[in-house]
Structure 1
């Protein structure tokens, strides 16, 4: 079904993904389901040179009684989950618990692991927790919100420097610092990180990271030789009115190493049911993974059927709001550099995109911001919290903001916070789950338009749910069931993870905002 990569043993500056490095061994291990989580072997560290391991594998694999699991355990070190030995103290407050968690979730600079998938970074950084033992791109912005509240501004600077290093090394920020993520990014929050850091370090921070923001922008806006209405290249789509908007994409179309067997099986299902080429299905899956919403009915043609995933056909409203902010930040940075020409150029780009966001994402019949299917040339059916991003970036008019607020109260607000979507698809970025980053986006968006009452309600419900779960289990979770706060969130390709970077960050930021408003009020 998929081409088998020949093992490659080039070291030094080259970063090789494990499916390319180990070829048939990698496929055999992942297809055998030795590990419940496909990410386990993708993150494994070889105990000998990969070339020697492969030589031994080819010598032994066809012998009678060969034990694949035993072979893997002999020649690879399996990494433990973060917090596997950390004992929480439930008598503490959540804030006290988070302060103790920060050092546990912080990794120091590493050296290169020969044959391992981890890409070493030069400065300390915070990881999400659980199975996520590396720095994740969009997670880190929300983690930084909490680090700022904890007075850990220096650590924020270290993390931003690591992202700058990744941009310098690869031309973009990959999903995380793993070799198997080098074909895709995540929602572009780097400019928001830089702005957050500049609140403590001053406007010169924008100038310092201007080259990195510019390079990231060039990555997302790579147009190739495309011309014509709705023509596409990688992450851009040319529109009939001359505007250019962005989509999610991945430069590979094979099963993800960290979710290998799941992608193989879904590719087979999509082909069997719909004759969809497995390579196309894998591309759509990978693009959805770049969105951070992996996975959601938002990306499905049939909201209940994962096999209808068609992410690269969709212009996402949240991504284009993020790109608008990047253009505005570039304009501001060039103004600080006294580069009038580029300042005006990026102000113009941002203004055009703001207009395009109104044209292509505002559904006047629903009175809500929707994603746009440029293949169908119509809105998608998925109503999700992504529609609140224009409020976060102050792109909505006041009447539009009032409609969005009403929609959020009516359709998304539950006893524990906000649903991600209204659909119960079994996917983790759907009902009944709520996620910290989206709670913050909506909370701040509501505040931007002076909808303080509903923002306070959201804050009380979300913080109350986290407090309740911590008192019960001593855990900070990746996601929460906001519909039935007595149940744990479900769905997804792996067990619910604890730690958890962005939950910690949003909790501290929202809690302190609540306290400040109480003191002021």
Structure 2
């Protein structure tokens, strides 16, 4: 049944009756009658009842209004669509396109003029050797009041600090006069982020968007070639910082999804990934430590400029007292380097490294990150090594030539074997039956419980016996109502007594942890546990979307199963009028991935919002 409706009239009447708190949404917190009669232009009527169906009507009207229409035909099937089908369809048909960006004439205004543009100047930084990009952006500069800055050949921490007062976007790959597209996380995260992109790519591939996933790999390779690393994000102040390495997995999954892309493409991106491994991660005394394992180690000088106001007040108060200054005077003198303080410098080395880890922020890593061989990073690099071996053996007849020499699969398998042995020797706790981060200064294994301790399941660098032991700990210490908590309750209570809550700590949960752990459990035959955890996560997302006008936020409190998370930066993806047209990148992907794993009867349970505790 299809109803032709007058958009403005119906929308106004619906909001007047049902949006009692005036936030331009229809949620369970509104106090309206929860029953609205629509009137078609032909005079037919139909009564829509319940928060979920009313919010669907609101969304369909908003979509049509955004297209500039005055009337719209809305099938009843869209208003009364099952929740899982609707959420998945919106992600596939609307959200990905809304999150897609390009760094070119068509897309530049969406980024240089957003709320990250701290000054009135629209500014783009272009690599020293990308002459075509320099010419292109200079040609369009006057049209968009755009300042084009060519980066030096040698991008040093000192140079990056010098331009922190002149922030701008960094150019990405151009093909002719068209930017290679990429997907952003959403909201204020309006640029291409490091590890977010891999997880978004999983969702894109499931939704048949190989073009976008491939484009993101191409943009990553551009960053490695021109900026020396995959960046935290393509903003000028991130030039000294990378993010967790997922490029080999991204390449492998894109190519295996569509081999018609061609071996020439695979050859080029594989060579660049090997370059990243060797020049970013395996440099001694930087990200490679003396014991052969790795750490996050972001370079840079001074206070990270992108942090929220007041974030460092407690730290800076201590140093202000030490130097007998106000906080503002300390910041001014420290940033100008009039004051030199080794301890404060060290704190910010740890802080930048914490942000490089993607876990910004967590008490697990605060003031210690650069001293840790983390389980997550070493698992990811093990995956690089085994991916390189697989790709070379499978697609290049076990011989792959680069400027650095000829590689065989055995070369990389030996590296992986050595890393696995070091991880088992240094990071494995026989007493606690799990992997933990190792402090290279104290020479002690931490006992901090983190979801990242289970990355070896995903990377397949632990034995079946170890996996059996790890899963017991996972399901007893990390499983909560809405999935997996980012840290254990005990660890965070011990470490954060009297301190503010950090967003990557208990009771919050994040999409990448869920996705990696589901895959890790399946790698070792724990299908039942994988299905339970995926169900818990998707149940929470589905229930929240049903109750809150389709909201798909950045993160959740997985204990209380709510998107109302206010730690640090708030919760991106919750502020919109009428309808969210983008959700949040890796949350969208986690929903599509979770649905792909669950059996049909569990998806039916999701549509009925059956509480996970009633099933498992």
Provide the TM-score with structure 2 as the length reference.
0.63
Q: Establish whether residue 110 from structure 1 lines up as the match of residue 88 from structure 2.
A: no
| Alignment correspondent of 1:236 | 288
Q: In the comparison of the two structures, how many residue pairs are matched? A: 414
Any unmatched runs of 5+ in structure 1? 1-84, 225-232, 301-308
Offset at residue 260 of structure 1 (A): 6.6
Deviation at 1:350, TM superposition (A): 1.2
**Matched residue SS, 1:223:** coil
Contact 1:106 1:126 in 2 (8 A): yes
Q: Counterparts of 2:480 and 2:512 in 1: how far apart (Å)?
A: 16
Which digits, 9 at most, give the CA deviation of each residue in 1:76-116, with x for residues without a partner?
xxxxxxxxx98999866211221211111111232544265
Q: Compared with structure 1, are the counterparts of its residues 410 and 264 closer, same or farther at alpha carbon in structure 2 (3 Å cutoff)? A: closer
The alpha-carbon distance between structure 1 residues 262 and 284, as it changes in their structure 2 partners (threshold 3 A), is: farther
Tell me, yes or no, if the aligned pair for 1:248 and 1:311 is still in contact at 8 Å: yes
- Rounded to whole Å, the distance in 2 between the matches of 1:517 and 1:449 is 23
Whether the aligned pair in 2 keeps the contact of 1:293 and 1:429 (CA below 8 Å) is yes
Offset at residue 465 of structure 1 (A): 0.2
Moved more, 126-135 or 421-430: 421-430
1:216 corresponding residue in structure 2: 276
> Contact 1:415 / 1:485 at 8 angstroms: preserved in 2?
yes
- The Cα shift of 1:254 comes to 1.2
Q: Does 1:197 align with 2:254?
A: yes
Partner of 1:319: 377
Decide whether aligned partners of structure 1 residues 482 and 273 sit closer, same or farther in structure 2, where only a CA change above 3 A counts. farther
Q: Does 1:455 align with 2:530?
A: yes
Is 2:94 the counterpart of 1:94? no
Cα distance, 1:259–1:207 mapped onto 2, change above 3 Å: same
- Report the Cα distance in structure 2 between the residues aligned to 1:237 and 1:116, rounded to whole angstroms: 32
Deviation at 1:331, TM superposition (A): 2.8
Aligned counterparts, 1:49-448, within 5 A: 93-99=86-92, 100-111=94-105, 112=124, 113-114=146-147, 117-121=168-172, 122=174, 123-202=180-259, 204=263, 206-223=266-283, 233-239=285-291, 244-259=292-307, 261-262=309-310, 265-269=313-317, 271=319, 277-300=343-366, 309-335=367-393, 336-337=395-396, 338-339=398-399, 342-343=407-408, 344-422=410-488, 423=492, 425=496, 426-448=501-523
Residue 480 of structure 1: aligned partner: 556
Does the 8 A contact of 2:170 with 2:234 survive in 1?
yes
SS class of match (1:320): helix
Q: SS of 1:464's equivalent?
A: helix
SS in 1 for 2:307: helix
Contact 2:296 2:356 in 1 (8 A): yes
- CA distance, structure 2, for counterparts of residue 468 and residue 323 of structure 1: 37
The 3-state SS of whatever aligns with 1:420 is coil
Secondary structure, aligned partner of 2:293: strand
List runs of 5+ in structure 2 lacking aligned partners: 1-61, 67-77, 106-123, 125-145, 148-165, 175-179, 323-340, 401-405, 574-582, 604-616
Contact (CA 8 Å) 1:175, 1:185: kept in 2 or not?
Answer: yes
Distance 1:206 1:428 in 2: 37
Equivalent residue number for residue 590 of structure 2: 506
Q: 2 CA distance for matches of 1:279 and 1:118? A: 26
Q: Does the CA contact (< 8 Å) of 2:229 and 2:276 recur in 1?
A: yes
The answer as to whether partners of 1:235 and 1:247 remain within 8 angstroms in 2 is yes
The one-character-per-residue Cα deviations of 1:459-498 (angstroms, maximum 9, x if unpaired) are 1100000001111222111111110124623312x12111
> How far apart, in 2, do the equivalents of 1:283 and 1:90 lie?
52
The 1-side partners of 2:79 and 2:342 are apart by 50
Tell me if the contact between 2:251 and 2:270 (Cα under 8 Å) persists in the aligned partners: no
Aligned to 1:467: 542
8 Å Cα contact 2:248/2:384 also seen in 1: yes
